[in-house]
A = this chain, B = another copy of it.
Amino acid sequence: MKKVTEMTREELLELQKELQKQYEDFKAQGLKLDMSRGKPAAAQLDLTNGLLTALDDYHTESGLDARNYGVLDGIPEAKRLFSDLLGIPAEKIIVGGSSSLNLMYDEMMRLMLFGTQGEKPWKDVKGIKFLCPSPGYDRHFAVTEDMGIEMIPVPMSADGPDMDVVEKMAAEDEAIKGIWCVPLHSNPLGACYTDETVDRLASMKTAAKDFRIFWDNAYGVHHIYEEVTLKDIFKAAEACGNEDRILYFFSTSKITFPGAGLAIMAASVSNVAEIKKHMTVQTIGYDKLNQLRHVKYFKTADNIRAHMRKLGDALRPKFDMVLNTLEEELGGTGLASWVKPKGGYFIALDTLPGCAKATVAFAKEAGVVMTGAGATYPYKKDPKDSNIRIAPTYPTPEELDKAIHLFCLCVKMSGVNELLKQRG
Contacts and interface: CB of A to CB of B under 8 A. Distances in A.
Interface of A: 37, 39-40, 42, 45, 52-53, 55, 58, 65-71, 97-99, 101-102, 105-106, 109, 112-113, 123, 139, 142-143, 145-147, 253, 257-260, 278, 281-290
B283 A69 contact: no
Q: Which 6 A-B pairs have the closest CB atoms?
A: A260-B289, A67-B257, A105-B282, A102-B283, A69-B258, A146-B281
A260 B67 contact: yes
B139 A69 contact: no
B290 A287 contact: yes
How many copies the complex holds: the figure is: 2
Contacts of A286: 97-99
B42 A52 contact: no
B123 A68 contact: no
Given A52-B55, A259-B68, A287-B260, A113 B123 contact: yes
Contacts of A102: 282-283
A283 B105 CA distance: 8
B52 A40 contact: no
Contact of A259 (B99, B147, B288): B288
A109 B121 CA distance: 14
B287 A101 contact: no
26 contacts: A37-B69, A45-B65, A52-B55, A53-B53, A53-B55, A66-B259, A68-B258, A69-B253, A69-B259, A97-B98, A97-B287, A98-B286, A98-B287, A99-B283, A99-B284, A99-B285, A99-B286, A101-B282, A105-B282, A105-B283, A106-B282, A142-B281, A143-B281, A259-B288, A260-B290, A287-B287
A251 to B, nearest CB: 11
A145 B114 CA distance: 12
A281 B149 CA distance: 14
A287 B42 CA distance: 17
A306 B67 CA distance: 21
Nearest to A254: B69
Given A45-B65, A55-B52, A113-B112, A259 B287 contact: yes
A52 B58 contact: yes
Given A68-B258, A99-B285, A99-B286, 16 more contacts: A39-B68, A42-B68, A45-B68, A52-B55, A66-B260, A67-B258, A67-B259, A68-B259, A97-B98, A101-B284, A105-B282, A109-B109, A143-B281, A259-B287, A259-B289, A260-B288
